[in-house]
Chains A and B, each alone.
Chain A
């Protein structure tokens, strides 16, 4: 879904995760390098962009924050439609938030297949003492679903650069592979063409189903 011309890639990345796991802090740390700072210049932290240059290729990264409250869960499909990557954040001190991540992974894989690069992020590692999600469990799970796992701390600015850089590289690879596979005969009727539409019922049933089976 990179922009045509091959010069600049435009990627859309959605941030998913329960409220209070630190999605906003994470992205503010990445784009503004600030944490709980009074001098944050941006008016909002829900849509942020970052321009990168990775091995000579320009990348425009658009980071879409999503509302994490449970009541908005059903709206997920509207957000993550046509995104190239998803960052699934949980709080290492909160077992529940990790369960939510599992639900999201199931849903994303079901709706978008393997087109989307998944990153599972355990945030707040500065609170190591209160950890409730074990490293082995989290990493094992990530591997089992074809996602990468990262440990970050927005407070200490740990692991965040690596997370985004890695994700960008993976998205570029899949975009290049996509271009190659499409070849020259491919028409422009890509999935990316159509805009956002209000999705009616099927995603909801999908999410509720995901919710039930997640414990297994």
Chain B
């Protein structure tokens, strides 16, 4: 059982979440793993360096070109052309290097190098160097543009006068928010809520819209203004949201040992459909952080809740009541450890259209999420039906509930847990079998080796013995050169030189 709950969920290492500079705040992949402050510093530094490098390169280019110019003119046309192309080739490879550099840094200040005359380069550079365009802002501006377009399109579909007024008011509101950057986030929230209230009152009373229609318009208004304001009001530096996020994150991590049984969660993960729903619920609650508009964030919570209901329904075969739902949601939040949970809750609370949070279905699920977070923050031994001593031991990591110290206990628990886990166990036992057999093979190979060595020795010994028993007698041979000439005597006598007196 415990293995399942341990393995459930999407585990992100803490180091991946925190700022790479180690300042303790959360990092963001959009900022190359840094937190907002460190990223800003880094980015400023990189930009300064960039500008200086650009200047240096431009000066060098200019000098080189001038030198080339001088040299071509002084040594007249006899100068072969390739000597001229030499420096420019070198600088071109510099361009390339520069280009890749900049690509990795996501700064698009490449264009300027391709200006026809390097003489004008310094001016252009200093100009372009001042307009930073990191791809993040470009990306977000694409989204913002799309939302603005959609908004304008939508306003065309409603009554002309109302559409015009809403457009005007929304723009005026965004402008006024731009001037209030230094206000606290609570004041900004107040402004946004006043704005919602004014617009909906106006639509109700002046344009006599039905409540459904007004709701639809308000959704679009919220989408438009919150997409634009998101960056400045989500987890702002003026609030301590980031600190709270961190605290909650740590708290949930410290509670990793909480099991389904302790929370009395009516979900049986052994059923494949149920464990599927649980995974989907976890995914949805994590996805909430990626949305910008409060309504979209709420939609993630709602979708998560629906998956939870499905899991409960399949397990218990009856519709889920709040008695079942809340513990399950708490369990999901513990398993998911959603990023920037407090920031998201605060953001929704501050900038969502109020009626949605008050009475709607989304509001109910959101309230439950708030309850889950509150419960997790306050959770103690009593709320898990544990003795305070056990709770302390689990929290400090000295002990872990239900983790069998004896690995032999695994196959027994394997029968009543999730099929994936039992599959893992099966694989594990197959692997250990395999390992045993491999061990055996190695042992046998070893014994074979020693046997072979022994055999070799014994053969050598035997040969030695035989040799000792029947020593090889080498008879001394006739040492004459022709001793081997067996048929010596049959040969005719050697030729004797005839002497002619003469």
What CA separation (Å) do A4 and B202 show in the bound complex? 11
A8 lies within 8 A of chain B by Cβ: yes
Cα distance, A47 to B223, chains bound together (Å): 26
Contact of B197 with A42 in the complex, beta carbons under 8 Å: no
Count of inter-chain pairs, beta carbons less than 8 A? 133
Q: Is the CB of A196 within 8 A of B349?
A: yes
Q: Contact at B357–A196, with CB atoms within 8 Å? A: yes
In the complex, the answer to whether A68 meets B211 with C-beta atoms within 8 Å is no
In the assembled complex, which residues on chain A have CB atoms less than 8 Å from the CB atom of B345?
Answer: 198
Q: How far is the CA of A11 from the CA of B205 in the complex (A)?
A: 21
Contact yes or no, B359 A5, CB < 8 A: no
**Segment 187-211 of A: residues with Cβ below 8 Å from B:** 188, 192-199, 204
Given the known interface contacts A5-B204, A40-B319, A46-B322, the answer about A62 and B359 at a Cβ–Cβ threshold of 8 Å is yes
- Are A193 and B354 in contact, with the CB atoms below 8 A? yes
Interface pair A23/B201, CB less than 8 Å apart: no
Residues of A within 8 A of B200 (CB): 4
* A66 B322 Cβ-Cβ under 8 A: yes
B313 and chain A: residue at smallest CB distance: A43
Are B375 and A188 touching (Cβ within 8 A)?
no
Closest to A24 in B: B321
Taking the closest CB of chain B, its distance from the CB of A89, in whole angstroms, is 12
Is the Cβ of A47 less than 8 Å from the Cβ of B365?
A: yes
Q: Which residues on the B side are within 8 Å of A196 (C-beta)?
A: 349, 357, 363, 366-367, 370
B424 contacts A by Cβ under 8 Å: no
Q: Which stretch, A70-78, A129-137, A140-148, A172-180, touches the partner chain B? A: A70-78
0/1 string, A153-196, CB within 8 A of B gives 1: 00000000000000000000000000000000000100011111
Partner of B197, one of A43, A49, A75, A193: A193
Whether B371 and A46, one on each chain, are in contact in the complex, defined by CB atoms closer than 8 angstroms, is no
Interface residue? B8 (CB, 8 A): no
Complex interface: chain B residues within 8 A of A99 (CB): none
Interface flag for A7 (CB, 8 Å): yes
User: What is the bound-complex CA distance between A64 and B321, given in angstroms?
Assistant: 10
Interface residues of B in 168-219 (CB under 8 A from A): 193-194, 197, 200-201, 204-205, 210-211
Interface of B is mostly: helix
Q: Which of B57-65, B323-331, B481-489 contacts A (4 or more CB under 8 A)?
A: B323-331
Establish whether residues B364 and A46, one from each chain, have CB atoms under 8 Å apart when the complex forms.
Answer: yes
**In the complex, A38→B317 CA distance in Å?**
8
A191 to chain B, nearest CB (A): 11
Taking CB atoms, residues of chain B closer than 8 Å to A43 are 306, 309-310, 313, 319-320
Contact of B211 among A5, A36, A62 (CB under 8 A): A5
Cα distance A5–B313 in the bound complex, in angstroms: 39
Q: Give A1-59 interface residues, CB cut-off 8 Å to B.
A: 1, 3-5, 7-8, 10-12, 15, 19, 23-24, 28, 36, 38, 40, 42-47, 49
Question: For residues 325 through 355 of chain B, which have their beta carbon under 8 Å from a beta carbon of chain A?
Answer: 325-327, 345, 348-350, 352, 354-355
A-chain residues with CB within 8 Å of residue B321 when the two chains form the complex = 23-24, 44-46, 65
- A159: min CB distance to chain B, Å: 20
Asked if A47 and B361 make an inter-chain contact with CB atoms under 8 angstroms apart, the answer reads yes
B320–A78 CB distance below 8 A = no
Q: Rank and list the top 7 A-B pairs by shortest CB-CB distance, nearest first.
A: A24-B321, A65-B322, A67-B326, A195-B357, A195-B349, A46-B322, A47-B364
Supply 16 further A-B pairs (C-beta < 8 A) apart from A195-B357, A196-B357, A204-B378: A4-B201, A4-B205, A43-B306, A43-B310, A64-B367, A71-B383, A72-B326, A72-B375, A75-B375, A79-B371, A82-B358, A195-B358, A196-B367, A198-B370, A198-B373, A199-B374
B-side residues, CB < 8 A to A, are 193-194, 197, 200-201, 204-205, 210-211, 264, 306, 309-310, 312-313, 317-323, 325-327, 345, 348-350, 352, 354-355, 357-361, 363-367, 370-371, 373-375, 377-378, 382-383
Which A residues contact B (CB, under 8 angstroms)?
A: 1, 3-5, 7-8, 10-12, 15, 19, 23-24, 28, 36, 38, 40, 42-47, 49, 60, 62, 64-69, 71-72, 74-75, 78-79, 82, 188, 192-199, 204
